[in-house]
Amino acid sequence: MSDFFANFTARNPEWLTEAGPFSDVALSTRARLVRNLPDFPFPHHASDVELETILADMSRRLSRLPAFSDGWDVGFADLEAVQRRALQEKLLASFRLVSRPTSRGLLLSRDLSRAAMINEEDHLRLHAFRPGFDPQGTLASIMALDEELEQEVESAFSPEWGYLTASPTNLGTGLRLSALLHLPGLVLVGEIEKVLNALRQLQFSVRGLFGEGSAVRGALFQISNLITLGRDEAEITDDFQVHLGKIITYERSARDQLYGRDHLGIEDMVHRSWAVLANARVITAQEAFDCLSNIRLGVSLGLLPAVEPGRLNQLTVQQQTAHLELEVGRALSGRDKGASRAALLREFFAA
Amino acid sequence: MSDFFANFTARNPEWLTEAGPFSDVALSTRARLVRNLPDFPFPHHASDVELETILADMSRRLSRLPAFSDGWDVGFADLEAVQRRALQEKLLASFRLVSRPTSRGLLLSRDLSRAAMINEEDHLRLHAFRPGFDPQGTLASIMALDEELEQEVESAFSPEWGYLTASPTNLGTGLRLSALLHLPGLVLVGEIEKVLNALRQLQFSVRGLFGEGSAVRGALFQISNLITLGRDEAEITDDFQVHLGKIITYERSARDQLYGRDHLGIEDMVHRSWAVLANARVITAQEAFDCLSNIRLGVSLGLLPAVEPGRLNQLTVQQQTAHLELEVGRALSGRDKGASRAALLREFFAA
């Protein structure tokens, strides 16, 4: 694992480096499957011994899958806290996993496009990531992983309820699709609440960058289906494709409307944001998220020099504290943190 | 007069273009003398006819003085409002004169280093300006003008009270010295109120850029002696030199202290301010004053490329509304004003 963290900042999943479909609005699409073992209690009811047994058994078996055989078994409980937080900042590990690491596991494919969390809310949570907005491609990726899994692991399944899960909200397919969308246009024209409420009524969940309960930063929204039961994977994916496709269209038209209504105000905002990142000597994560968001908007409107979306994605992730600390090799106090962040951003934007 | 306003923005008194003593802290020094005619009531008691008589008579006689003979008789009441406001922005006319222009007059020397206001609070107020902090030079300039005046005008004088003035606070010499000081160091270390209170106890008045009742903008303070009676001109000037000299010393040491205490915070502030002026597409006067103030501080600390103080002085004046309106040749609405201001500042700082 020392290999893995030695070069962690530059070790990026494809969605952080490549453009995908609708990259002007969508950073990534994620698919998640929930699976549990029939012979053990769910993690929140399992004893320490049972959790350790599950972890050892699952780690061994998952390592044999083609997806993970040349990848990384992250040995989650043995990591330093900063390493766990950095994995969360890259969206490779959940908050739940990071905050309770004992007897938890994380396996990653070599290219970081697939992940398996052991003893999170369920015995097993599989993730697949794709750049941009790509529900079909992401579904194909997670289903291929699920097929590999079926060769090694028999999951708890009921003919009536489908896959059994620790929380009833995940019963059935256990499939959750999420898209990480950048919606500054809807925020700035004041339509965001209306759009998000409509999504909630359609049984989608809307959360911040780091999932449940996390604050929205830099106009980045995680949008996921809530319904996993009573429809098959293809129906869930079609539904997701249709409704989130509409949000992307709304966002694009909000940006045009915004620029038509107040081009000077938008130009002012995006140029100031670039100037701040090119010149600040100290900056908070919140301000950096916001400036990067404004710059992403400015690039998409053609008001700023072209920057690949991948570069903005990476800076959005790398400016976070655990990434900064791994990069400098030590814990950072408040002021040092802001200074390291500013230096990272200046290096790119002042160039 | 069309000549005078045709090129108004570039027509600057020496203190707006040249460095003077202590230019790192002091923008300009001004001396003012108050004189009244013995045979007329003070302006606030004079009839319209009397005011017109005084204006015509004084304009004629002042025009014969060497100081004004090749200068400008601004014909104050006939100016457009924007022209009067622009004269105030350049500190060549007072708020009182600008707000009640009827039967008021303003004469300026060709180089704008001397001015005479007619029918302001008194029949005659003479001003002399010098760059930087230069009480002796400014006193010499105003006394030379007073000598010229004595050849043409007999002023109301009492052996007991000295020169008679509309307000008793100006009795005696009628001499007021003012320095326009930039005190961001004292503001940022939180010492400014203590210092200003000490000055007030020593009978100095402290005001904003545009005198009585005006807000402090961009850490620019007008500091003047209040006592005009019971001391001669030399004593007043020596006293002013000593006490304001101390303020300049305090300000310099506050800047050093500030930088020593938090060099990162100061660097951050001054670089951000430059970045804002180099990139904003819309900006308010207040933000421009503040950014120019921070840049002036950054230049004095050697943190930014050298900019002549004169250039910063000029931009501080030119970014104000009447100057912007004269420059574009029309009245500016809110948004246009902010955009014109931003364009002016960008032209210099983005170069």
pLDDT digits (tens, 9 = 90+) for A20-62: 999 999 999 999 999 999 999 999 999 999 999 999 999 999 9
The pLDDT, as a whole number, for residue B344 is 97
Q: What is the pLDDT of residues B285-327, one digit of tens each?
A: 999 999 999 999 999 999 999 998 789 999 999 999 999 999 9
The number of helix segments (H) and strand segments (E) in chain B equals: 15, 10
The answer on pLDDT for A278 being more than 70 is: yes
CB A276 to CB B272 under 8 A?
yes
Q: Read off the amino acid at residue A135.
A: P
The answer on pLDDT for A2 being more than 80 is: no
Q: How far is CA A227 from CA A132, A235, B3, B340, in A?
A: 22, 11, 77, 54
Shortest distance, CA B268 to any CA of chain A (angstroms): 4
Shortest distance, CA A264 to any CA of chain B (angstroms): 6
Chain B residue numbers with beta carbons less than 8 Å from the beta carbon of A288 are: none
Nearest CA in chain A to B266: A281
The pLDDT, as a whole number, for residue A298 is 96
CB A281 to CB B271 under 8 A?
yes
CB B281 to CB A268 under 8 A?
yes
Shortest distance, CA B97 to any CA of chain A (angstroms): 37
Chain B residue numbers with beta carbons less than 8 Å from the beta carbon of A283 are: 268
The pLDDT, as a whole number, for residue A212 is 61
ipTM: 0.88
Q: Which of A106-120, A152-166, B38-52, B60-74 has the lowest mean pLDDT?
A: A152-166
CB B265 to CB A282 under 8 A?
yes
CB A278 to CB B275 under 8 A?
yes
Cβ-based neighbour number of residue A226 at 10 Å: 12
The number of C-alpha atoms within 13 Å of A176 and in the hemisphere containing its C-beta is 21
Nearest to A274 among B279, B282, B335 (CB): B279
CB A281 to CB B268 under 8 A?
yes
Chain A residue numbers with beta carbons less than 8 Å from the beta carbon of B274 are: 279
Q: What is the pLDDT of residues A227-276, one digit of tens each?
A: 888 889 999 999 999 999 999 999 999 999 999 999 999 999 999 999 99
Interface of B with A (CB under 8 A): 264-265, 267-268, 271-272, 274-276, 278-283, 335, 339, 342
The answer on pLDDT for A88 being more than 80 is: yes
The answer on pLDDT for B240 being more than 60 is: yes
The answer on pLDDT for A309 being more than 90 is: no
**pLDDT category of residue B211 using cuts at 50, 70 and 90:** low
Q: Which of A206-215, A315-324, B157-166 has the lowest mean pLDDT?
A: A206-215
CB B335 to CB A280 under 8 A?
no
- Provide the token pair at A144: 């291929």
CB B276 to CB A271 under 8 A?
no
Reduced DSSP (H G I as helix, E B as strand, rest coil) percent helix, strand, coil of chain B, to 5: 50, 15, 35
CB A282 to CB B264 under 8 A?
yes
Domains of chain A, by residue range, sit at 2-249, 262-349
> Taking the C-alpha atoms of A333, A338, A339 and A343 in order, what is their torsion angle to the nearest 10 degrees?
130
A302-311, B125-134, B166-175, range with greatest mean pLDDT: B125-134
- Provide the token pair at A107: 């396996």
CATH number of B2-249: 3.30.590.10
Report the residue of B277, B279, B284, B340 to disrupt the A interface, i.e. the one with the largest count of A CBs within 10 Å. B279
